[in-house]
């Protein structure tokens, strides 16, 4: 058996094209482009590359991209003042402060300072609460992209056994909440879980987001399961996921590769959230069903 490969790069390109169409419609109705502001503190190489990619994708979608680069030793009050200015700017629909921040800055305080209605990263405690209680809000981009990829494989997620490996606030916890909202039966596996293998082995859906290269091997996977690998680990062999692709792909029914799986979906979903924010703020209707539904399968 060889798994169907879920092509996240192709799916993300399709999603970005739908977003660009939505942006064009928004501009015609609102008289301006949606605006996304990204704040980068310091010169972390990986963060700088990511910010450049976000800026490029934002402009390609027809949105306004605003970047603020601050030195690594910036005073916390200066960063918080910038966030306050962006909150008050009517041309800014989304605010993203790139993580990680330098050790002298309280990242949670900065996230909490962002207007929840401009928090397109979905990290604000109010948006986390909205997600947990089923209210409209912004969902973290990576879990949102994972659900879209899952829906490209499964016509219905209700009733499926799902295991999320990892319990971070950025991926693991919101991923579990999204799967619950789809009526999956959800288990979170973490560092203190007894017999993680047994939990993963029974899952119809496995979402790996633990940051350990190749932790989940083929013998962990239930035959025919769908495997979403969120891990991006830099090793001497190059980028690898949390799943051992070679062995897992011989057992799974469908699987995302690393790279080219979940990664491209994160930026696409960031643009999606920014467009949705702009629509809400300008009272311009955004057709979420048309925006989020895939026109083509992500599988190849």
- CA proximity to 13, closest of 76, 62, 48, 61: 61
Q: What is the CA radius of gyration of the chain?
A: 19
> Is 56 annotated as catalytic?
no
- CA proximity to 42, closest of 107, 87, 88: 107
Beta-strand runs (E) in 177-242: 185-189, 205-208, 226-229, 233-235, 238-240
- CA pair distance 296, 9, nearest whole angstrom: 12
Question: Where are the alpha helices (H) located in 99-160, listed in sequence order?
Answer: 107-113, 125-133, 141-153
Two tokens, residue 4 = 């169907």
| Residues β-bridged to residue 234 | 239
- Out of 54, 118, 173, 222, the active site residue is 54
- CA pair distance 126, 137, nearest whole angstrom: 8
Read off φ and ψ for residue 188, nearest 5 degrees: -105, 125
3-state SS, residue 209: coil
- Out of 7, 93, 98, 119, the active site residue is 98
Sequence-separated (6 or more) residues with CB below 8 Å from residue 237: none
> Is 98 annotated as catalytic?
yes
DSSP 26-59: HHHHHSS--EEEEEEES--HHHHHHHHHHHHHHH
Beta-strand runs (E) in the chain: 4-5, 35-41, 64-70, 94-97, 161-165, 185-189, 205-208, 226-229, 233-235, 238-240, 254-255
- Out of 7, 93, 117, 121, the active site residue is 121
- CA pair distance 105, 88, nearest whole angstrom: 22
> Is 121 annotated as catalytic?
yes
Q: Are 240 and 215 in contact (CB under 8 A)?
A: no
Catalytic residues: 54, 98, 121
């Amino acid at each position: 058996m060889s798994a169907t490969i879920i092509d996240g790069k192709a799916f993300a390109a399709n999603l970005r094209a739908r977003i660009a169409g939505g942006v064009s419609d928004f501009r015609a109705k609102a008289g301006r482009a949606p605006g996304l502001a990204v704040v980068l503190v310091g010169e972390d190489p990986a963060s700088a590359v990511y910010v450049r990619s976000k800026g490029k994708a934002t402009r390609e979608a027809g949105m306004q991209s605003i970047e603020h680069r601050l030195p690594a030793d910036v005073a916390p009050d200066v960063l918080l003042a910038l966030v306050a200015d962006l909150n008050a700017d009517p041309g800014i629909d989304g605010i993203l402060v790139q993580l990680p921040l330098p050790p002298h800055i309280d990242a949670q305080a900065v996230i909490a300072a962002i207007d929840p209605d401009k928090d397109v990263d979905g990290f604000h405690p109010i948006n986390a609460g909205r997600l947990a209680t089923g209210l409209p809000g912004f969902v973290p981009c990576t879990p949102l992209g994972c659900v879209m990829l899952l829906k490209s494989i499964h016509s219905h997620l209700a009733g499926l056994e799902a295991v999320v490996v990892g319990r971070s606030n950025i991926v693991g916890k919101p991923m579990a909440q999204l799967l619950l909202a789809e009526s999956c039966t959800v288990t979170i596996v973490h560092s203190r879980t007894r017999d993680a293998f047994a939990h993963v082995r029974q899952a119809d859906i496995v979402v790996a987001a633990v940051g350990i290269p190749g932790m989940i091997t083929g013998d962990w996977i239930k035959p025919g399961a769908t495997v979403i690998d969120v891990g991006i680990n830099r090793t001497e062999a190059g980028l690898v996921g949390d799943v051992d692709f070679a062995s897992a792909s011989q057992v799974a029914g469908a699987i995302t590769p690393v790279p080219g799986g979940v990664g491209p979906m994160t930026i696409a979903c960031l643009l999606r959230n920014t467009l949705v924010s702009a629509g809400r703020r300008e009272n311009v209707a955004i057709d979420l069903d048309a925006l989020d539904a895939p026109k083509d399968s992500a599988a190849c």
